[in-house]
């Protein structure tokens, strides 16, 4: 099955009835080995046609995550409850839901974006930042179309790579000192659906800040290892969540080990 078809057949709006409270309950049930399809049927979350398929996808996510949680807890000498607490952060829920509870899709998206980085897209952002183009776009002195015409590589960025860009930025956002930044996961969903607008990303204040951040070289510690495995991705999400909930001791523990190259 083509990847785009996979997204269209299994995705996004189907999960609209899955709330944060249900997510937390599923997380707890999974940790206790009690999460199964019956939970979704009893809760009436999905209609009869889709409930089993979607429930199976969510159950698979939590099963994979639970195994990784245990590995992270052991690696960093944390309690399993600490990792679960990090994943109960509302922003983490929003991020995971935006990707349809699909770890493979998250990894594929960020790898698509880092592939664009290798092709030189980061250099474009650096050049734009140095030239003051972001300020010109905001003031109206330069049109977004002019930028896109000058840098055709930007026009070629596919939706899944844009989603990877947003994921990459979210996982590195803590390094600009804005721990409580309210990320718009709707943009991520739109990107994965193919209905994103690079122009909108440029002209909004948030979009300009995100792209300027990429162009400034302020990249986080996750960059070299982020997309390699599901373990690394879950660890990166955990690290960001611990930072958001201001658990400085755990953050320092993880960061020191990452800097030593032990992960």
pLDDT at residue 215, rounded to an integer: 54
**39 near 29, Cβ under 8 Å?**
yes
**58 near 101, Cβ under 8 Å?**
yes
Question: At residue 10, does pLDDT exceed 70?
Answer: no
pLDDT confidence bin for 150, thresholds 50/70/90: confident
153-192 confidence digits (pLDDT tens) = 777 777 888 888 888 878 776 555 554 555 667 778 888 8
The model carries a pTM of 0.78
pLDDT averaged over the chain?
Answer: 76
255 domain residue, yes or no: no
Kindly tell me the burial class for residue 3, based on how many C-beta atoms sit within 10 Å of its own C-beta (0-12, 13-18, 19 or more): exposed
107-144 confidence digits (pLDDT tens) = 888 888 877 777 777 677 777 767 777 677 767 788 77
Instruction: State which residues form the domain around 26.
Output: 3-102
pLDDT at residue 83, rounded to an integer: 94
172 domain residue, yes or no: no
218 domain residue, yes or no: no
Between the CA atoms of 142, 144, 148 and 151, what dihedral angle is there, to the nearest 10 degrees? 40
Tell me the C-alpha distance between 66 and 83, whole Å.
10
Residues of the chain with pLDDT > 70, as a percent, come to: 72
pLDDT confidence bin for 8, thresholds 50/70/90: very low
Q: How many domains does the chain have?
A: 1
* Cα 29 versus chain centre, distance: 24
127 domain residue, yes or no: no
pLDDT at residue 9, rounded to an integer: 43
32-65 confidence digits (pLDDT tens) = 999 988 888 777 777 655 666 778 888 999 999 9
20 domain residue, yes or no: yes
Spatial neighbors of 123 by CB under 8 A, at least 6 apart, are: none
Q: What is the DSSP-derived secondary structure letter of residue 132?
A: T
pLDDT at residue 7, rounded to an integer: 40
246 domain residue, yes or no: no
223 domain residue, yes or no: no
**105 near 197, Cβ under 8 Å?**
no
180 domain residue, yes or no: no
Helix orientation angle between 90-98 and 20-31, rounded to the nearest 10 degrees = 90
- Residue 156 gets the label, from left (phi > 0), alpha (psi -120 to 50) or beta, of alpha
């Amino acid at each position: 099955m083509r990847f785009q078809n996979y997204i269209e057949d299994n995705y996004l709006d189907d999960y609209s009835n899955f709330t944060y409270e249900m997510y937390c309950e599923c997380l707890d049930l999974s940790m206790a080995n009690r999460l199964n399809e019956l939970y979704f049927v009893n809760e009436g979350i999905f209609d009869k046609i889709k409930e089993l398929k979607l429930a199976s996808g969510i159950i698979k996510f939590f099963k994979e995550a639970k195994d990784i949680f245990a590995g992270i807890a052991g690696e960093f000498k944390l309690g399993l409850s600490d990792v679960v607490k990090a994943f109960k952060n509302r922003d983490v829920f929003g991020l995971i839901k935006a990707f349809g509870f699909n770890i493979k899709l998250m990894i594929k998206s960020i790898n698509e974006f880092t592939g664009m980085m290798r092709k030189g897209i980061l250099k474009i952002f650096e050049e734009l930042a140095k030239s003051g183009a972001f300020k010109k776009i905001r003031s109206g002195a330069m049109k977004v179309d002019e930028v896109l015409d000058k840098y055709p590589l930007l026009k070629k960025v596919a939706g899944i790579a844009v989603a990877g860009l947003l994921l990459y930025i979210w996982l590195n956002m803590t390094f600009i000192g804005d721990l409580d930044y309210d990320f718009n996961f709707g943009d991520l969903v739109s990107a994965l659906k193919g209905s994103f607008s690079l122009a909108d990303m440029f002209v909004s204040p948030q979009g300009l800040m995100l792209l300027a951040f990429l162009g400034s070289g302020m990249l986080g510690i996750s960059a070299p290892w982020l997309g390699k495995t599901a373990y690394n991705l879950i660890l990166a999400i955990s690290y960001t969540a611990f930072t958001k909930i201001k658990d400085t001791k755990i953050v320092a523990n993880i960061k020191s080990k990452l800097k030593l190259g032990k992960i």
